[in-house]
Structure 1
Amino acid sequence: MIVMDDEPLALVNMEKKLKEFNSIEVIKSFTNVKDLLAEGPSLDFQVAFLDIEMPGMNGLEIAKLLKEWNKNIYIVFVTAYRDYAVQAFEINSLDYLLKPISKARLETTINRIQELLHLEKNSTPIRIQHKPILKIQCFGGFVVLHDDKAIHWRTVKTKELFAFLFSNLNSHVPRDTVLDALWAETDYKKARVQLHTTVSYLRTTLSTLGYVDVIQYANGCYILQLEDFQCDAHNLEHLLNSKMETGKLDIKKAEALIQNYQGEYMATLDYPWVTSKANFMNTQFTLLLHDLVEHYTAIHDVKNLEHILLLTLEHNPYSDKAIQQLMKHYIDLDNRASAVKVYNTFRSTLVADLDILPEHETTELFNAISVEV
């Protein structure tokens, strides 16, 4: 690691404290930017302890420079002032130490560094395996598993922030958009502090799972970039995109997705921001059901067709089109009693929930068969 502080006495003091840890090696210390620029690029280091208050380039600016040299360098800020905490976390720093630094507090930081470096060292064999490490279920709720075990989130907001960023995966999300989504009712200054604390918690959680530096902050935006994960919602999108490109639906993958379907997108979560994304994903799922209806109709697979039609109505309980398809299916099977039964249930649901009646075409279809039952 390297250490930088413009005050020689403070630099010596920090070096002395770090040398008390046998696992840490300080390869170079700097008191000015000129020396860092001259020697830094040729040094092999993984961690930088930086004082924030320095002349010329301050520690925050130097951290950005180091990240340009190597995005995997871990930054630890050291300062006598609390005012830089938010900016420090935005640069994706590992930690933020306030002077005077106690041995116990420094030990916590060193332990975090060792843990992350150990995970980084051992991450390659895991990545060689083609089995996704993270399993993310979005339909029916939001469940995240690591090696088939549910992830423990430090706070409720940590989970929600991950859900929000994952819903915008690989997209730059403005900081204020995140604040409006998750902390709309909180004072702006307090919300910013809570956001950056939560980002720190989330980064730590993901880092301990082997996902290091997957959340970046630049130009006022956050971006989550993940690899090696499996997700039902992403499988659906890929399935439909592939169908658009090739003109052919992968039936086996579609059936597997249907079999594991747990309900509407993040249905059990009371997140105000989820509505728009949920509407889109639920529409995507309806498109998949429609494609399967066409497929099973074409190959005269009566059993699977009925299953998909029932699931379509369950997914769209107020849809006249869905009930009409199911009724016509029963009529084709000469099972008019079932057609009448599902109509009556549909009508009762509309009246009870929406205080409306079925569309004229649906009622006409019912009238045409009810006298024959």
Structure 2
Amino acid sequence: MKVIIVDDERLALRRMEKLLEEQSDVNVPISLIGSYQDPYAALETAQREKLDMAFLDIQMTEMDGLELAERLLSIQPQLHIVFVTAYQEYAVKAFEMNALDYLLKPVHHRRLAVTLQRVAESALKSPAHLPSTAKATLCCLQSLHYLDHQGNVRYFPWKTLKAQELFAYLVHYRDKTVSKQILIDLLWPDYDTDRSRTQLHTAIYQIRKMIKSIGFNLEIKYKDEGYRLVWGDVKLDVEEWENHVRHAPEVTAETLEQHLTIMALYTGDFLEEHPYLWAEYEQERIRLLWLNHVKQIAEYYVATEQYTEAILTYQKIREKVPGMEDGYFGLMKLYAMQNHQGEVSKQYQLISTKLKEEFDVAPSKEITDWYQQWKKDCQRRQG
């Protein structure tokens, strides 16, 4: 294993060098590529030399270990990072990771041997023996989860909610660089500068670990004081669904099953189970696409006199978008065609109450005029 050490204290560097020289319990030989007090020198080495492992002191004056880790990983994503710190509370609280990810000063021989052995075993695993995830799907409809290459639903074991939200945000803005300051303002607006940067670096590190452990073909790049989630061959459910909708043919007897399949793929709104304010615009955009698509199916049912299916479809619309008139108005027209006068009035009252309670407005002129004209026609027939 090719290893580097970075610590701005000369004595700490010498001690780690000596400990590595004394390691004889690891099956894989260790090659110390360099020891650096200057983190920028370590970055230069990473640019020209393939590395397996880096021991980084967390608290350094020139550049802290968290930021250095980000920069190193942007150059070599598969690099194993081991943080070294004199503060146990800081390490446990900041990373919430297992013993593989940080060492406490003073580092002891046995403790280092355990870390080296674990990293060696991980590094030696052949990619051919890892499960294939070429057809894995990342899911954002309803909740953030994924389908493995066999189609099984899997949930991410996030250690913090902030790491989960940060990952969701980067997925939404995939292949675009988002500045560190935007992320800090979004997720840690009340923290001081040092603490917010620490939290951001920690969350990014957790996400990188998560991506690596799952085997997703995704990569977080650090450049120009920002992060970019580089997308690989992983499918994204909301993107797949939207492409199906936009390229679907007109609803006919021959294409109805195709449209019903597309409708079934919509398992919930974009990140519906996560209360992210920044996601609300995308939720609304995707929801309106769903509404327009399902209305086409409902209108086809009406045109072909499949009234039971039409009613069920408009009820689905009403349940999904209860603050919009489409579902109620569709049901009103259907019930009027079937002479269910009580149901027509019920739907009008339901939408009137809903709009009053949520937006303090009355139903639109179109639906109100239609309803008033329908009442007059009913009275005329009864008279």
TM-score range, shorter chain: 0.7 to 0.9
Distance (Å, rounded) in 2 between the aligned partners of 1:121 and 1:196? 31
Task: Please tell me whether the aligned partners of residues 25 and 113 of structure 2 are also in contact (alpha carbons under 8 angstroms).
Answer: no
Whether contact under 8 Å (2:163, 2:204) holds in the other structure is yes
Shift of 1:179: 1.6
Cα distance in 2 for residues equivalent to 1:247 and 1:65 = 56
**Which of 44, 50, 53 does residue 37 from structure 2 map onto?**
53
Aligned-pair identity (%): 18
For residue 202 of structure 2, give the secondary structure of its aligned residue in structure 1: helix
CA distance in 2, matches of 1:236, 1:320: 24
Contact map agreement 1:170 1:223 (CA 8 A) in 2 = yes
1:86 matched to 2:54: no
List per-residue Cα deviations over 1:160-187 (Å, max 9, x = no partner).
2222222223332222222222112222
Residue 280 of structure 1 corresponds to which residue in structure 2?
Answer: 285
- 1:239 and 1:253 in contact (8 A); partners too: no
**1:62 alignment partner AA:** T
Residue type matched to 1:199 in 2?
I
Pairing 1:7-22 to 2, within 5 Å after superposition: 13=18, 15-22=20-27
The SS at the match of 2:247 is helix
Letter in 2 for 1:237: E
Matched, 1:357 2:362: yes
- SS of equivalent residue, structure 1 residue 58: helix
Where 1:204 maps in the other structure, the secondary structure is helix
Give distance in 1, aligned partners of 2:358 and 2:211.
42
The residue correspondences of 1:141-220 to structure 2 (distance < 5 A) are 141-144=143-146, 146=148, 147-211=152-216, 214-220=219-225
Structure 2 distance, partners of 1:80, 1:164, is 27
Report whether the alignment pairs 1:107 with 2:109: no
Once the two structures are TM-superposed, the CA of residue 340 in structure 1 deviates from its matched residue by 2.1
Output the CA distance in 1 between the equivalents of 2:120 and 2:287: 42
C-alpha distance in 1, partners of 2:132/2:114? 28
- Partner amino acid, structure 1, of 2:65: A
**CA–CA distance in structure 1, aligned partners of residues 25 and 217 of structure 2:** 27
Question: Structure 1 248/293 Cα, relative in aligned 2: closer, same or farther at 3 Å?
Answer: closer
Residue 285 of structure 1 aligns to a residue whose secondary structure is helix
Q: Is the deviation greater in 186-195 or in 331-340?
A: 331-340
Shift of 1:257: 4.4
Q: Which amino acid aligns with 2:41?
A: N
Change over 3 Å in CA distance of 1:110–1:272 after alignment to 2: farther
Unaligned runs of 5+ in 2: 74-78, 85-104
Q: Tell me if the contact between 2:251 and 2:300 (Cα under 8 Å) persists in the aligned partners.
A: no
- 1:276-298, Cα deviation, whole Å (9 max, x unpaired): 22222223322322343454455
Deviations 1:287-323 (Å, cap 9, x if unpaired)? 3223434544555543333333222233332323443
Counterparts in 2 of 1:106 and 1:190: CA distance versus 1, 3 Å? farther
- Structure 1 distance, partners of 2:106, 2:47, is 25
Q: 1:326 to 1:226 in 2, by over 3 A?
A: same
Q: TM-score, normalised by structure 1?
A: 0.76
- 1:361-372 matched pairs, under 5 angstroms: 361-370=366-375, 372=378
User: Relative to structure 1, is the Cα distance of residues 361 and 214 closer, same or farther in structure 2, using a 3 angstrom cutoff?
Assistant: same
Partner of 1:136: 139
Any stretches of 5+ residues in structure 1 without a counterpart? 31-49
Counterpart in 2 of 1:25?
29
RMSD (CA atoms): 3.5
Which of 45, 52, 65 is the aligned partner of 1:62?
45
Partner of 1:76: 54
Alpha-carbon deviation of 1:197?
Answer: 0.7
Partner of 2:275: helix, strand, or coil? coil
Mean Cα deviation higher: 329-338 or 180-189: 329-338
2:127 is aligned, of 117, 120, 143, to 120
Residue 366 of structure 2: SS of its match in structure 1? helix
Q: For residues 81 and 102 of structure 1, do their structure 2 counterparts lie closer, same or farther at Cα, with a shift above 3 Å needed?
A: farther
Structure 2 letter corresponding to 1:2: K
Q: Is the 8 A contact 1:79 1:97 kept in 2?
A: yes
CA–CA separation in structure 1 for the residues paired with 2:186 and 2:265: 29
In 1, distance between residues paired with 2:145 and 2:16?
46
Residues 4 and 280 (structure 1), Cα distance of their counterparts in 2 relative to 1, 3 Å cut: same
CA–CA separation in structure 2 for the residues paired with 1:106 and 1:221: 35
CA separation in 2, counterparts of 1:64 and 1:296?
62
Indicate the SS of the match to 1:214. strand
CA contact (8 A) 1:323 1:346 kept: yes
Q: Per the alignment, do residues 346 and 213 of structure 1 end up closer, same or farther by CA in structure 2, a change over 3 Å counting?
A: closer
- Find the aligned partners of 2:58 and 2:264 in 1 and give their Cα distance: 57
> For residues 348 and 176 of structure 1, what CA distance do their matches in structure 2 show?
43
8 Å Cα contact 1:351-1:357 kept in structure 2: yes
| Contact preservation (8 Å) 1:296, 1:302 | yes
